[in-house]
């Protein structure tokens, strides 16, 4: 059986756009004489599900577009993802479903069984779980269709390399195993993290080994605000060998035959985690701009490593000519910082403007003099400078239209080393899920062929330059130690005692925990963060502001 795999980039809620793309690949698959074409989870609506589902007009569009797609199924079978209205009065209003269209009809609907509610997922908010398990019969084959999470609850006892705890009481493939399916098809919208593609492959391989059946896996690709979907659709044979793999971070299409185990292996994965992070962030920026109809960006370029990296990533995503850098030196800024900032703009061919802030700063201090009187300058004056820069950047954004890119890294966001309504402004946070040590890794990756980011920017001690001779390490632990503890606390969810048992100083660990916890209120007010790790700040990490832990 010739099966077309369609890996596409959808826009959440844009039915006209999504269905046009679906129709395009259906026509292509018919010309390629494929017998079946498979699309990703919720391809008609885009993923993740949102409160759009509460609008009746939303579901009417789903029904209307299904009628249009049914007309294209006379020459080919179609498996695609879309919500289905729950016909029962009890339970959630919808199912997350895979529709099987053929001969102008909806031949069968398979509903998703396992509805994740951990980390970034909240599917049980919208969907009712499936409790009916029946293979699809097509062209003399029995096909076990599952949806994303449905294959992740495999019985790990039978597979040596899998040691994850089962999260659910039902495993869909175990329910369908007695029907003796010939093929598994999983449609998915699998959000990216830099280690997830490896985990995903292990799950697919484990399923194929356990059930001794090949699997066609089709996932979405593209950026959706905080989330990035990396694609990587594939065919895995019944022995657990990945025999065909589509591209990562790009739309792709292929026609394969699950019974042909001799077809050429096509492995497209990025082998290095740093390259995956780079491509994910670039895709996240590009789709954030293109899907919202924005063309240009602006950022504050300090001469430091974070803003330099943000500029380089944005230049790759939307074109260097479309990213305006604003240099805003104060009396504390060093000449080399200004020169470094100008140099990266020249290296990239990107425009820049220089707006000194000393006069603005002095004027504001003068205005506050009657209230502050003879109080010593402290963090207040540092924050004033950051907020002046935020005002200037937002003014440029308002007047000229570019979207402001936030340049704060994850280490700073974690411990509150940033100023609300100042350097924490922005439409999208480019580095908010990238620790400071990872920032340097990404800079090295970008400079792998030629010097884009000036070496002096990378090698000099990081500084906010808000007071004479200031260095980040005046206020923070060394970044390699800070990031290691932050990673264990945030990404691995380890407590103080567990981290101390790893060899870290207790007093330092407790200090870092307190810094993270007391700055939760700031993170509630930050821009959306492009997620590249297994645990990013935002809706995937739900910590109360008012709490004691």
Each residue's pLDDT, cut to its tens digit, for the chain (549 residues) gives: 999 999 999 999 999 999 999 999 999 999 999 999 999 999 999 998 888 878 888 888 888 999 999 999 999 999 999 999 999 989 998 999 999 999 999 999 999 999 988 888 888 899 999 999 999 999 999 999 999 999 998 754 444 444 445 677 788 999 999 999 999 999 999 999 988 888 899 999 999 999 999 999 999 999 999 999 999 999 999 999 999 999 999 999 999 988 775 665 666 665 689 999 999 999 999 999 999 999 999 999 998 999 999 999 999 999 999 999 999 998 876 777 899 999 999 999 999 999 999 999 999 999 999 999 889 988 898 999 999 999 999 999 999 999 999 999 999 999 999 999 999 999 999 999 999 999 999 999 999 999 999 999 998 876 655 566 656 666 688 999 999 999 999 999 999 999 999 999 999 999 999 999 999 999 999 999 999 999 999 888 888 888 876
Name the catalytic one among 148, 270, 345, 443.
148
Place of tokens 């895709």: 283
Closest to 192 (Cα-Cα) out of 119, 265, 289: 119
- Three-state helix/strand/coil letters over 393-454: HHHHHHHHCCEEEECCCHHHHHHCCCCCCCCCCCCEECCCCCCHHHHHHHHHHHCCCCCCCC
CB 104 within 8 A of CB 78: no
Closest to 171 (Cα-Cα) out of 217, 206, 136: 206
Distance CA 167, CA 114 (A): 9
- CA torsion sign for 71, 72, 75, 81 is negative
Name the catalytic one among 2, 21, 35, 41.
41
CB 147 within 8 A of CB 116: no
112 is catalytic: yes
Place of tokens 């339970």: 91
Place of tokens 């484990």: 206
Task: Specify whether domain 3-269 bears CATH 3.10.450.50.
Answer: no
Distance CA 326, CA 389 (A): 9
Distance CA 434, CA 438 (A): 6
Cis peptide before 48 (omega within 30 of 0): yes
Q: Taking the complete model, does pTM exceed 0.85, yes or no?
A: yes
Number of other CB atoms surrounding residue 494 within 10 Å: 17
Distance CA 431, CA 310 (A): 7
Name the catalytic one among 2, 70, 112, 210.
112
41 is catalytic: yes
362 is catalytic: no
| Domain at 276-472+519-523, CATH from 3.40.50.1780, 3.40.50.1100, 3.40.50.620, 3.40.50.20 | 3.40.50.620
């Amino acid at each position: 059986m010739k099966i077309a795999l369609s890996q596409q980039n959808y826009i959440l809620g844009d039915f006209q756009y999504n269905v046009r793309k679906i129709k395009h690949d259906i026509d292509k698959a018919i010309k390629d004489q494929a017998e079946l074409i498979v699309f990703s989870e919720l391809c008609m609506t885009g993923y993740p599900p949102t409160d759009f589902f509460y609008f009746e007009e939303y579901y009417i569009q789903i029904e209307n577009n299904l009628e249009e797609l049914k007309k294209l199924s006379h020459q080919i079978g179609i498996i695609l993802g879309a919500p289905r209205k729950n016909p029962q009065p009890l339970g959630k209003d919808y199912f997350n479903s895979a529709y099987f269209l053929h001969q102008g009809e909806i031949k069968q609907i398979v509903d998703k069984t396992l509805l994740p509610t951990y980390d970034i997922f909240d599917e049980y908010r919208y969907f009712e779980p499936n409790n009916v398990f029946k293979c699809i019969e097509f062209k003399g084959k029995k096909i076990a269709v599952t949806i994303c999470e449905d294959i992740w609850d495999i019985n790990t006892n039978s597979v040596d390399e899998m040691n994850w705890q089962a999260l659910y009481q039902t495993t869909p493939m175990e329910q369908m195993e007695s029907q003796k399916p010939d093929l598994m098809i999983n449609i998915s919208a699998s959000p990216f993290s830099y280690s997830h593609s490896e985990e995903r492959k292990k799950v697919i391989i484990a399923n194929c080994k356990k059930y001794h059946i090949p699997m066609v896996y089709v996932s979405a690709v593209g950026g959706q605000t905080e989330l990035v979907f990396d694609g990587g659709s594939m065919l895995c044979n019944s022995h657990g060998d990945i025999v065909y793999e589509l591209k990562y971070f790009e739309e792709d299409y292929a026609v394969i035959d699950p019974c042909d185990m001799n077809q050429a292996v096509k492995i497209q994965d990025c082998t290095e985690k740093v390259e995956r992070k780079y491509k994910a962030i670039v895709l996240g920026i590009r789709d954030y701009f293109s899907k919202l109809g924005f063309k240009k960006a602006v950022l504050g370029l300090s001469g430091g490593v974070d803003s330099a990296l943000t500029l380089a990533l944005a230049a790759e995503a939307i074109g260097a000519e479309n990213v305006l850098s604003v240099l805003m030196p104060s009396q504390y800024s060093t000449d080399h910082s200004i020169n470094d900032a100008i140099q990266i703009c020249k290296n990239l061919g990107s425009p820049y403007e220089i707006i000194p802030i000393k006069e603005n700063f002095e004027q504001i201090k003068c205005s506050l003099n009657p209230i502050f009187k003879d109080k010593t300058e402290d963090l207040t004056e540092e924050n004033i400078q950051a907020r002046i820069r935020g005002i200037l950047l937002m003014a440029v954004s308002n007047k000229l239209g570019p979207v402001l890119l936030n340049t704060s890294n994850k280490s700073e966001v974690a411990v509150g080393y940033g100023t609300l309504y100042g350097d924490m402004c922005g439409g999208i946070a480019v580095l908010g899920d990238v620790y400071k040590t990872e920032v340097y890794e990404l800079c090295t990756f970008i400079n792998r062929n030629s010097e884009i980011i000036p070496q002096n920017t990378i090698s000099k001690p990081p500084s906010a330059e808000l007071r004479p001779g200031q260095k980040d390490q005046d206020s923070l632990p060394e970044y390699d130690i800070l990031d290691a503890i932050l990673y264990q606390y945030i990404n691995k969810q380890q407590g103080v005692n567990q981290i101390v048992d790893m060899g870290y100083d207790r007093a330092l660990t407790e200090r870092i925990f307190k810094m993270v916890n007391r700055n939760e209120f700031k993170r509630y007010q930050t821009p959306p963060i492009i997620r590249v790790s297994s645990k990013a700040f935002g809706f995937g990490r739900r910590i109360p502001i008012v709490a004691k832990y």
